[in-house]
Copies of this chain bind each other. A is one copy, B any other.
Amino acid sequence: MGSAFTIFKRHLHSNNMRMTHQRDHLFHVLLKSSHPLSIEQLIPLVDSHFVSVYRNVQELRKVGVIKQVPLGLKYSYELSDMFKPHHHHISCDGCSAVSGIDDEEIERLIDSAAVRAGYRPTGHSLEMRGICRNCRVTD
């Protein structure tokens, strides 16, 4: 069958990359996380040398396992659509909480806007900001 981890292993193999403890661990940290993580957040969570975190995030991004997403003023990382259904994020200006957003219609509209501009769409990144319920009350 095709669990995320099985797909991951196959994907590594087909790219002549080895499955190591470090990559296994990195993958599972990202799989379990409910929101994207910055390198800074990743380093203490993944038990491997920080240099390996950098290298593996890069390598896995190159082969499409990991996706870079702009969150706040810096980039964070999450598993690609290959492992998590395509979605977007909204982060609260007040408390920085992050929620997932999943809206079919937005996707369609984004792609059709790309086509209208003369492009064959290959992807996009959409990040939203707002004030969450809690922070609206606590003002």
| A26 smallest CB distance to B (angstroms) | 19
CA distance A120 to B93 in the complex (A): 10
Known: A70-B75, A103-B109. A128 touches B124 (CB 8 A): yes
CA distance A92 to B19 in the complex (A): 33
| A128 smallest CB distance to B (angstroms) | 4
- Determine chain A's interface SS by DSSP, over half rule: strand
Are A123 and B119 in contact, with the CB atoms below 8 A?
A: no
Are A105 and B109 in contact, with the CB atoms below 8 A?
A: yes
CA distance A113 to B99 in the complex (A): 12
Are B73 and A68 in contact, with the CB atoms below 8 A?
A: yes
A131 within 8 Å of B by Cβ? yes
In A93-139, which residues have CB < 8 Å from any B CB?
A: 93, 99, 101, 103, 105-106, 109-110, 113-114, 117-133, 136
- Give 10 closest A-B pairs by Cβ, nearest first: A119-B130, A70-B70, A124-B128, A123-B129, A120-B131, A121-B130, A103-B113, A126-B126, A122-B129, A114-B130
